[in-house]
Every structure is written in C-alpha cells, then in structure tokens.
Amino acid sequence: MTTPRSRILLLALGGTIACRPTRDGLVPGLGAADLLAAITPPGGVQVEVADPITRTILYPADWVTLSEIIHDRRAHYDGFVITLGTDTLAHAACALALMLQGLDCGVVLTGAMQAIGGAAGAPARRNLRDALQVAATGQGGVFVVFHGKIMDGRCASKQRSDSDDAFDSVNAAPLGTVSRSKVRWRRKLTAPAGRRRLRSALSTNVALALLAPQTDPDAIAALDRYDGIVVAGYGDGNVSDNLVAPLVELARRRLVVVASQCPHGAVHHRYAGGAALIRAGALSARALSLEMACVKLMWALGQAPTVRGARQLFRRA
C-alpha cells in the first residue's frame, strides 16, 4: 500500500529569498517554481506552486488577498507554505492568524536573509524545506518557520537585521523545531476552535506612535485623525509626564492601545503615566508584540461596526 501524499500549495510572494542581483541592488526575480527547483522536497509531499504577488514589502491589501486564496483553496490542499520578504513577514503572519478562523490545516510562512541560489542560499533552502515539512504534518494553525524554529504566527517577530536567525518568538516559547528533516513539537497543540470561516476585513486608519524623550506634546494632536493608535511607551508601557494629558485626551476620543518598545516582556502599567491612559479607556497590549498589537487593532476596527465592539473584540480575540 502506498503512503498518501500531503498536497501543499507553495505561494511565492517575492522577498529576499526570491531575489536576483542587479546593478540597482537585489530585486525579486524568482517564482515559486524556481524556489521549489532549488531544493529536494520532503518525501511524501506533493507541491504545487503559485505566484499571486511579487514584491519585497507586503501591504494590508495583500494580507486580505492571501487569506482569501487560502480560504478558497483549503478543500484542495492539506497545507500552505508562503515565502515572502522578512521585513513584513511577522505582520502578515499576525493578520492571517486573525483572519483565518478555525483553521484546520497548516499555513506556514518563511523567507530568508539571503537569496536561495548559490552557496549563501543554504539557509534559505533549509527554511523552505523545513516549512514544507511543517505544513505536511497536518497541524492546524498559522506558523512561522525560520532557522529551525517553529513559531506561533501571532508571536513571531523579526529581531535581527543581519542574521540567518532573524526571528524570535515574543513572550512565548517556540512551538517546536525542525532538525535533520524531523519535525518535533514541544507540546501537543489544541485543535482549532470553532468552524472554519474567513474574517478578513481590516481598517488601515491605524497609527503606531513610538514615543521618545523629545516627543512634543503638540505632536499628539496629529494622531487624532486615526481611528486607532498603538502607543509604544517605555518599559512597562509608561509615558513621560508631559505627554500624559494629551494622550489621555486622545484615549477618550479614539481607540488607543498601550504597548512597550521592549521586544520581550508584558506590560502591566504600574507607573503613573501608563496607568492614567488605561484609566482613560486605553487598552493594554499585555504580552503582544508591536506587530500583533497593530495588526490586531486594525482587524478589530475592521470587524466591528462600533468602537465599543472593536474594543471588546480586541480584548477577547
């Protein structure tokens, strides 16, 4: 009896992994078929290819397109692998994790810090092969696979700009590893909750405000044009004294989420500045990465018809 083959759709979206060198620098030039030809696919995996988007940076409209492709083609495939640029990979993973509800197959995002061809492309080839192996396990969810680590798509964040080990799992341990062509989950993952459905609506009228010691209080007024604002404060989600009053007023008029500029650790708002914003109605990002805080706010505002509804959805999703 022959072993059933896992059918995986490889979606190539550009990025460094698919780049070719030119006189003007690296530009995306390789498609999904080229990437697949650069590796030996894992045994028992049948890979089909598609090139729906080609660019180095993905935009919110691209996340929607991706979610629709995966939702519409789910019945035809056992899993999906997406190769894309690393600079916005974490944002895309967060978005797909929110949009694809009740996901009963693996959606695995990966990329590389070097193009897949030549000697320097060995890490890229490993990442692609590892991603295909994880997708073929049948485990449902959105994952980022990079440098042998399997990360929850909601927690992965690019932390290094010049290392093959570019991504960390923020405030959560990696879910597993891929080593010597073997997938090892660190713990048993729970089955996807609820029925499978697509919730892809987003609001792009969201800003990220990274506070600095020289931030002028008058600059806060410019944020009033946005429906949602993620305020990246200091440490525990604190803000400087001179910004408390304008940020409190902003939190009373708009949906504000208070996060930290620190890449690791949750925010508890133990200091007066950050606590004042929470009392005024701002939401806490808690242990979310900055990427997830921004994308989740965009998603909540896009899904709910009212600010109150978006606030509730942000808290519970």
Rounded CA gap, 37 and 58, in Å? 24
Yes or no: say if 198 and 67 are a contact pair by the CB < 8 Å rule. yes
Rounded CA gap, 314 and 247, in Å? 20
Rounded CA gap, 252 and 283, in Å? 11
CA separation (Å) from 265 to 160, 169, 293?
Answer: 17, 11, 14
The residues, any chain, with a CB within 8 Å of residue 51's CB and separated by 6 or more, are 11, 12, 13, 31, 32
Looking at the annotation, which residues are catalytic? 16, 86-87, 158, 271
The full 3-state SS of 157-208, as one line of letters, equals EECCCCCCCCEEECCCCCCEEEECCEEEECCCCCCCCCCCEECCCCCCCEEE
CA separation (Å) from 176 to 67, 129, 130, 169, 181?
Answer: 24, 15, 12, 11, 13
Residue 136 in 3-state DSSP? coil
Which of the 8 DSSP states describes residue 137?
T
Residue 140 in 3-state DSSP? coil
The residues, any chain, with a CB within 8 Å of residue 123's CB and separated by 6 or more, are 112, 113, 114, 147, 164
Rounded CA gap, 130 and 110, in Å? 9
Rounded CA gap, 10 and 134, in Å? 13
